[in-house]
């Protein structure tokens, strides 16, 4: 049996209001008046009020760093500089999330398995080894890294954790998903770059999963279901370049999700033995306001069903892989020790659609 014991979250120091980010983008992109009005409309209707970043540049509430040059004609940071910042900043953010998750449950040296998740930075030695050293984890700890799976990667991490707990006695698994999306800002205006700068933010989330720890609020991991819609593989992508990681995020993604969501949910219910009417909480990754609106409409849900997903989007934006865990944490806390039967889902490159089921009897 694999139980989610606790979830810890962390965000960087710099909190930017969406309206201030818009002003920054308009300055950098130097768009004609018509395109500026369109960009403002998109920001005003994004469902986002604030986002967090590890650098201060995206609003005038803070002093500028050396990340965005004062002279916008100058070259923006190359991949090496962006990865150096990732290596410096991902570690303390991850440690903060881990400490919040394991606090009162176990000391760090009782972690038996460590799974790190990211699609916004990578190196070797990587974040997993950094965490081992700083947290003084056991030198023989089982560790694994999930990279470049995007927004659904945390669900894949939950799958791995359940496999570990089902096959290994006395397992205390820690999953830490850390994304620094704003490191990859691109100054060239395009539909993809504008969509990325509109949505994405930085954050980290940790899940403590165990087959031995006990908590009255724990959620049992019951099952998973995933499907890939190959027709969407060209509409969502994340590629390395010398200028940083480049996001391809087509405006057709919501329509692709809309066309497949009913079939996905029906197949997930059948595969796991669940019924839609028994779901008490919906843990939907807030990939964007339009995606949430379409899912609500197609599945016949209510505003209350997706209120937590919208709340996370409003407060944090889309942080990629940690975001669905921010939603799950709020649902877990709100439900306390009462009965719950939750279905979660997230979407990423492929187009991959991942689901999970957790419950409290």
CATH number of residue 71's parent domain: 3.40.47.10
pLDDT exceeds 80 at position 350: no
- 244 and 164 assigned to the same domain: no
- 235 and 289 assigned to the same domain: yes
As a whole-number percent, the residues of the chain with pLDDT over 90 amount to: 75
- 251 and 205 assigned to the same domain: no
Query: pTM for the full model?
Result: 0.95
- 185 and 226 assigned to the same domain: no
Question: pLDDT category, 250, cuts 50, 70, 90?
Answer: low
Examine the fold and report which residue of 167, 189, 210 is the final residue of a domain before the chain moves on: 210
pLDDT exceeds 60 at position 233: no
Domain boundaries, position 98: 3-210
Task: Output the average pLDDT for the chain.
Answer: 92
Question: pLDDT category, 223, cuts 50, 70, 90?
Answer: very high
Mean pLDDT, rounded, for 154-166: 98
The structural domain count of the chain equals 2
Examine the fold and report which residue of 210, 238, 270 is the final residue of a domain before the chain moves on: 210
- 242 and 116 assigned to the same domain: no
* pLDDT score at 140: 94
* pLDDT score at 249: 64
Residue 215 placed within a domain: no
- 46 and 163 assigned to the same domain: yes
* pLDDT score at 235: 56
pLDDT exceeds 60 at position 285: yes
Per-residue three-class SS string for the chain: CCEEEEEEEECCCEEEEHHHHHHHHHHHHCCCHHHHHHHHHHHHCCCCCEEEECCCCCCCCCCCCCCCCCCCCCCCCCHHHHHHHHHHHHHHHHHHHHHHHHCCCCCHHHCCEEEEEECCCCCCCCHHHHHHHHHCCCCCCEEEEEECCHHHHHHHHHHHHHHHHHHCCCCEEEEEEEEEHHHHCCCCCCHHHHHHHHHECEEEEEEEEECCCCCCCCEEEEEEEEEECHHHCCCEEEEEECCEEEEEECCCHHHHHHHHHHHHHHHHHHHHCCCHHHCCEEEECCCCHHHHHHHHHHHCCCCCCCHHHHHHHHHHCECCCCHHHHHHHHHHHHHCCCCEEEEEEEEECCCEEEEEEEEEC
* pLDDT score at 286: 96
- 127 and 253 assigned to the same domain: no
Examine the fold and report which residue of 210, 235, 258 is the final residue of a domain before the chain moves on: 210
pLDDT exceeds 80 at position 258: no
* pLDDT score at 188: 87
pLDDT exceeds 60 at position 232: no
Residue 314 placed within a domain: yes
pLDDT exceeds 70 at position 136: yes
Residue 84 placed within a domain: yes
């Amino acid at each position: 049996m694999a139980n989610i014991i606790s979830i810890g979250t962390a965000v960087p120091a710099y909190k930017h209001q969406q309206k201030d980010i818009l002003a920054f983008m308009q300055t950098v992109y130097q768009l004609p008046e018509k395109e500026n009005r369109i960009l403002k409309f998109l920001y005003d209707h994004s469902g986002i009020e604030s986002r967090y970043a590890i650098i201060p540049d995206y609003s005038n509430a803070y002093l500028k760093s050396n990340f965005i040059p004062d002279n916008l004609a100058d070259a923006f940071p190359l991949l090496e500089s962006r990865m150096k910042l990732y290596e410096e900043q991902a570690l303390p953010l991850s440690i903060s999330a881990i400490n919040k998750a394991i606090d009162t449950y176990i000391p760090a040296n009782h972690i038996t398995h460590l799974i790190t998740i990211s699609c916004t930075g990578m190196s070797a030695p990587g974040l997993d080894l950094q965490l081992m050293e700083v947290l003084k984890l056991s030198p023989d700890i089982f560790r694994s890294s999930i990279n470049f799976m995007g927004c659904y990667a945390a669900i894949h991490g939950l799958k791995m954790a359940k496999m570990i707990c089902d096959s290994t006695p006395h397992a205390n698994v820690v999953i830490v998903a850390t994304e620094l999306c704003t490191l990859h800002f691109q100054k060239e205006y395009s539909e993809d770059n504008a969509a990325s700068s509109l949505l994405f933010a930085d954050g980290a989330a940790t899940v403590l999963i165990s087959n031995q720890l006990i908590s009255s609020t724990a959620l049992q991991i019951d099952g998973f279901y995933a499907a890939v819609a190959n027709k969407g593989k060209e509409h969502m992508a994340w590629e390395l370049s010398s200028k940083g990681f480049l996001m391809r995020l087509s405006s057709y993604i919501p329509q692709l999700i809309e066309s497949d969501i009913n079939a996905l949910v029906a197949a997930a219910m059948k595969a796991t033995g669940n019924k839609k009417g028994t779901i008490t909480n919906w843990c939907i990754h807030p990939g964007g306001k339009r995606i949430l609106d379409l899912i609500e409409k197609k599945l016949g849900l209510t505003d209350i069903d997706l209120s937590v997903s919208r709340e996370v989007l409003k407060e944090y934006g889309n942080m990629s892989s940690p975001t669905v865990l921010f939603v799950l944490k709020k649902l877990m806390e709100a439900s306390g020790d009462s009965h719950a039967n939750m279905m979660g889902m997230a979407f990423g490159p492929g187009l991959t659609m991942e689901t999970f089921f957790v419950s409290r009897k």
